[in-house]
Amino acid sequence: MKIIVTGGAGFIGSAFVRLALAEGARVVNLDKLTYAGNLENLAAVAEHPAYTFVHGDICDAKLVNDLVAAEKPDAVVHFAAESHVDRSILDPSPAFETNLRGTFTLLEAARAHRLPRFIHVSTDEVYGSIPFPGEADENFPLNPSSPYSASKAGSDLLARSYFTTYGTPVIVTRASNNYGPYQFPEKLIPLMISNAFEDRALPVYGDGMQVRDWLYVDDHCRAIHALIAKGRAGEIYNIGGSAALANIDVVRRILAATGKTESLIRSVADRPGHDRRYALSSAKVMRETGWAPTVSFDDGLARTIAWYCENSGWVERVKSGDYRAYYARNYDDRHAGV
Ligand code: NAD
Ligand code: TYD
């Protein structure tokens, strides 16, 4: 099996590339290497004989078309995206370009070359905030709140339209919040771990009672891998971690595990349009593929903290340069929260 992976130098994409190679696939990784793309994430497989890296933009129609024509893959797994809500609030334009135009460009190539499988990696954020105790199944209405989630909802619908209109064999996956090694420290868990290590303030938005369902990255990748073989074209599959926690509880666990005190917690101004709660049912992917999450939150968090502790060089490198400017822009003007 040959797979074109987009965004394979990012957090989830790199974990998927490692898994797919270990499972015997040939992998072509197409990545633009934005601030979030990092070839260090793939150092362990860079010389693997079944692995090829292509540096390019998914919005580049000629490049995408030529690549698909030349490689004739059995599947495209599409991770490439601008993936951070806060950055999409500061500047929505990159999310619009990559998440919408980039997905369109890939779908056009999939249609033209009659690709046998196209996995579009979407997110539970397309459902928007879900009041307790509800949970979204795949038929739940889409109600995205941020420029990021709206761009993902748009690309998710576009991908499905290619199945309905052209019969392109698209599968859409909607996963909950991922965490694990190699996650860029702009997202909650790695940001809090890295700030705790440095005795810096841990900025909790609003009252910290927002709920996210945490999915260990390798469990997510195993679900996608199972869906390449067993998923049905035209279908949507939720992928959740069955680990719902309020942000403040996640932060407290990180402080306890890193031996730091709660005096580091800073309540700061809330994120505009902040979704209060995500919750989804993964019954369908479990029933149809036999997949289930295997890593508990306690175990996954311990593994993640250990990885960031052992890989301080990686953290230092990704936090140099542009990261500092982003951090100042997102956090410096946040007046005190509740
Ligand atoms: P990430 O930000 O870590 O990585 C994104 C990757 O895409 C990077 O390697 C980047 O260089 C590449 N990229 C960005 N724009 C590109 C372009 N125009 N052309 C080619 N490559 C480009 O993201 P992630 O957290 O690994 O998320 C991967 C996918 O999973 C995204 O589609 C995201 O929406 C989805 N997702 C993420 C989560 C999560 O919790 N992180 C949860 C559900 C779904
Ligand atoms: P994040 O990791 O950005 O993922 P998403 O917004 O896609 O769910 O944020 C997870 C939760 O943590 C979300 O409710 C926002 C909150 N959060 C903070 O309280 N402080 C922070 O500095 C960050 C980055 C996130």
Give whole-number Cα distances, 268 to 40, 204, 257, in Å: 33, 6, 23
Q: How open is the CA angle 47-52-54, to the nearest 5 degrees?
A: 130
- Pocket test of ligand 2: the residue of 189, 202, 204, 205 to mutate, having most ligand atoms within 8 Å of its CB, is 205
| Structure-model confidence comparison of residues 57 and 334, the more confident one | 57
148 annotated active-site = yes
pLDDT digits (tens, 9 = 90+) for 166-209: 999 999 999 999 999 999 999 999 999 999 999 999 999 999 99
8 Å CB contact between 177 and 78: no
Report DSSP letters for 79-128, one per residue: --S---HHHHHH--HHHIIIIIIIHHHHHHHHHHTT-S-EEEEEEGGGG-
pLDDT(335) > 80: no
pLDDT digits (tens, 9 = 90+) for 107-159: 999 999 999 999 999 999 999 999 999 999 999 999 999 999 999 999 999 99
pLDDT(298) > 80: yes
Q: Which helix (H) or strand (E) holds 257?
A: helix 247-257
Q: How open is the CA angle 223-229-235, to the nearest 5 degrees?
A: 75
pLDDT digits (tens, 9 = 90+) for 43-83: 999 999 999 999 999 999 999 999 999 999 999 999 999 99
Lowest mean pLDDT among 154-168, 268-282, 323-337: 323-337
Domain 2-179+216-239: top CATH class: alpha beta
323 annotated active-site = no
Residue 154: the pLDDT is 98
Closest CA to 78 of 26, 38, 125, 117: 117
pLDDT averaged over every residue in the chain = 97
Residue 338: the pLDDT is 54
Question: How many residues are present in the chain?
Answer: 338
Indicate if ligand 2 lies below 6 Å from the C-beta of 195.
no
* Sequence-separated (6 or more) residues with CB below 8 Å from residue 62: none
What is d(CA 70, CA 56) in angstroms, rounded to the nearest whole number? 15
Domains of the chain, by residue range, sit at 2-179+216-239
Q: Whose CA is nearest to atom 20 of ligand 2?
A: 204
* Residue 293, phi then psi, degrees to nearest 5: -65, 140
Give whole-number Cα distances, 226 to 160, 286, 328, in Å: 20, 10, 41
Query: Hey, how many other C-beta atoms are within 10 angstroms of the C-beta on 324?
Result: 10
Closest CA to 63 of 8, 109, 119, 118: 109
Q: 218: CA distance to ligand 1 center in Å? A: 15
Q: Residue 294 corresponds to which tokens in the numbers above?
A: 């295997």
pTM of the prediction?
0.99
Indicate if ligand 2 lies below 6 Å from the C-beta of 149.
no
Q: Are strands 265-268 and 202-205 parallel, antiparallel or unpaired?
A: parallel
* Catalytic residue (one of 31, 57, 71, 124): 124
* Ligand 2 atom nearest to CA at 208: 19
* Catalytic residue (one of 31, 125, 135, 156): 125
